[in-house]
Structure 1
Amino acid sequence: MSEVESTEPVITATAVPHAHRTNCLPAYFGSKYLQVEVMINQHMRKLCADYEGGIWEFYELSNGGFYMHPKGQEKMHVCVPDNYCDVTMSPDAAGITACLFAINHLTWITRSTKHIDLYHALRDYAMDHEESSLIMRAID
């Protein structure tokens, strides 16, 4: 049997240096940047009952996407009762999940093509994430 070669480029994530974080959210979300940051935190609190806030890491994706995740925790318990999801995942996967929920919410508010594209860019990245099955289960 021969292996099928993928023609799709691998999507990579690059950490945003601390000095560039101030301009990062406005660059991706425009005037809605404060609203989306609050929404991401609200979704994380809703998804993870034990989440108490803290510092977040920011990532830019090679396909034009963006996400952030909480720093410093080993594993996070994520519960989405509406779709019977009750899993444990890394802070990276939990952050991607919270960002997908928040950006999806934002797209319904703004109907902005830019925000829709950001959602799809992050979802495409999540599809190849090592915890993709957990992320997809949570957002299903």
Structure 2
Amino acid sequence: MTTEMQDRITSSVVPEELRLNVLPRYLGRHHINGESLVYDWAARLYCGYDGGLWHYFTLSNGGFYMAPANMGRVHVRWHLNGYSDMMGADAFGVTVTLFALCHLAEKTLDDTIIERFHQLREFATQHTEAANILRAID
């Protein structure tokens, strides 16, 4: 097995019956605020966002993210860095979760939240839409 294959971070969708424990596990006492920030950032980055079901994903490096369940490609815009492009629902979820984790880390200065951000960013660099995700969060 090559080193690249060994270093590949994988994601797994969390089954419906286990969803309740995901955010408390990964965000601790900040889980309610963290979830709220994900939805807030979704609305900031995609003007057509109007709620809906989200999937939770765990990562093989210990991280996690959320992504909209019933969304196709969307036009994402972030005025502070001039980003404006299309991305799929999974990439949008990674992007939104990164923004939310960064925001939450700034508010709480919690090392666990900071680690979650870095775990997800590492996954983002391997995502099929890595270029778009990284441009959006830059």
**TM superposition score normalised by structure 2:** 0.95
Residue identity opposite 1:26 in structure 2: P
Alignment RMSD (CA, Å):
1.3
Work out the CA distance in 2 between the residues paired with 1:94 and 1:69.
Answer: 7
Q: Give the drift of 1:73.
A: 1.3
Q: 1:47 aligns with which of 13, 38, 45?
A: 45
Q: 1:100 aligns with which of 98, 101, 105?
A: 98
Helix, strand or coil for the counterpart of 2:128?
coil
Percentage of identical aligned residues: 37
User: Could you tell me which residue of structure 1 aligns to residue 86 of structure 2?
Assistant: 88
Q: Report the number of matched residues.
A: 137
Q: Give the drift of 1:76.
A: 1.0
Work out the CA distance in 1 between the residues paired with 2:95 and 2:7.
Answer: 22
**TM superposition score normalised by structure 1:** 0.94
Structure with greater Cα Rg: 1
**Structure 1 residues not aligned, in runs of 5+:** none
Q: Give the drift of 1:105.
A: 0.6
Work out the CA distance in 1 between the residues paired with 2:134 and 2:4.
Answer: 21
- Cα deviation 1:44-83 (Å, max 9, x = unaligned): 0000000110000000000000001011111111000111
Work out the CA distance in 2 between the residues paired with 1:7 and 1:51.
Answer: 35
Work out the CA distance in 1 between the residues paired with 2:134 and 2:17.
Answer: 32
| Within-5 A mapping of 1:31-42 | 31-42=29-40
Write out the 4+ residue segments of structure 1 that deviate beyond 3 Å after TM superposition: 4-8
Q: Give the drift of 1:112.
A: 1.2
**Structure 2 residues not aligned, in runs of 5+:** none
Helix, strand or coil for the counterpart of 2:80?
helix
